[in-house]
């Protein structure tokens, strides 16, 4: 079984890679540090499964998944993220992912998710699956204005709502401050808001962020 692990934090990525190699010795594991490298790795050799983080520099995990699935509709992608907000889970599934797992999961759950998704079965971490079933409005009922955002605009919206400084957002996405400023203006125009406070309130009301949630 060929698996591609995509995560921009080297220590985290290598740690999970070592874990998977130990628990799944039959796995041939390759690594990628960002979306661009992931696209290149898949072009070189198509894996059975891509394990994808959401918050990648440059091309986001959501956008990378969308591009991969456009190119290879049968490619299986399992999101493995620290974020458990239902709208983000829905965004991942809408991008074409076959599964979603948080990094709070135990090694046993990770292994089970990898086995099931690589075999073509959908897998959503049990607490998230329960929330999606019990809160269909939260899962799929985003504010209509948010549905007008592109994947990149939505990602910037989330980071702004979490209070990340513009410079940090620009660095994380590998874009200039001017480009980020243009995105901010575009996002606010699409959302019909004029202030950071309105943006945060919209994010909280839509379930995109939760009060007290630390950004990362």
Residue 215 banded pLDDT, cuts 50, 70, 90? very low
Measure the CA–CA gap between 69 and 96, rounded to whole angstroms: 7
Average pLDDT of the residues in 15-23: 95
**83 half-sphere exposure, CB direction, 13 A CA radius:** 26
Q: How far is CA 206 from CA 49, 178, 199, in A?
A: 31, 28, 11
Q: Where are the domains of the chain?
A: 2-134, 144-206
Measure the CA–CA gap between 112 and 10, rounded to whole angstroms: 23
65-107 pLDDT tens trace: 999 999 999 999 999 998 888 888 888 888 899 999 999 999 9
pLDDT at position 191 over 50: yes
131-155 pLDDT tens trace: 777 765 544 456 778 878 887 888 8
Fold (topology level) of 2-134: Rossmann fold (3.40.50)
The pLDDT value recorded for residue 130 is 83
pLDDT at position 59 over 70: yes
Mean pLDDT of the chain: 88
42-58 pLDDT tens trace: 999 999 999 999 988 88
Residues in contact with 214: Cβ distance below 8 Å, sequence separation at least 6, in sequence order: none
The pLDDT value recorded for residue 136 is 57
In this structure, the number of other CB atoms found within 10 A of the CB of residue 178 comes to 9
The model scores a pTM over 0.85: no
Fold (topology level) of 144-206: Arc Repressor Mutant, subunit A (1.10.10)
The pLDDT value recorded for residue 210 is 64
């Amino acid at each position: 079984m060929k698996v591609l692990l995509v995560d921009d934090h080297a220590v985290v990525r290598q740690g999970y890679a070592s874990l998977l190699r130990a628990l799944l010795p039959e796995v041939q594991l390759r690594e990628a540090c960002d979306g661009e490298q992931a696209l290149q790795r898949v072009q070189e050799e198509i894996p059975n499964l891509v394990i994808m983080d959401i918050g990648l520099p440059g091309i986001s995990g959501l956008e990378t998944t969308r591009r991969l699935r456009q190119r290879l509709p049968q490619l299986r992608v399992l999101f493995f993220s620290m974020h458990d907000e239902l709208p983000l889970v829905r965004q991942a599934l809408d991008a074409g992912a076959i599964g979603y797992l948080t990094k709070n999961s135990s090694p046993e759950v990770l292994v089970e998710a990898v086995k099931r998704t690589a075999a073509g079965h959908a897998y959503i971490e049990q607490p998230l699956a329960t929330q999606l079933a019990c809160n269909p409005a939260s899962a799929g009922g985003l504010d209509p204005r948010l549905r007008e955002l592109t994947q990149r605009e939505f990602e910037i919206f989330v980071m702004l709502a979490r209070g990340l400084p513009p410079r940090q957002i620009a660095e994380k996405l590998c874009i200039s401050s001017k480009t980020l400023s243009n995105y901010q203006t575009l996002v606010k125009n699409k959302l019909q808001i004029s202030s950071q406070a309105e943006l945060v309130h919209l994010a909280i009301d839509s379930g995109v962020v939760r009060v007290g949630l630390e950004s990362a």
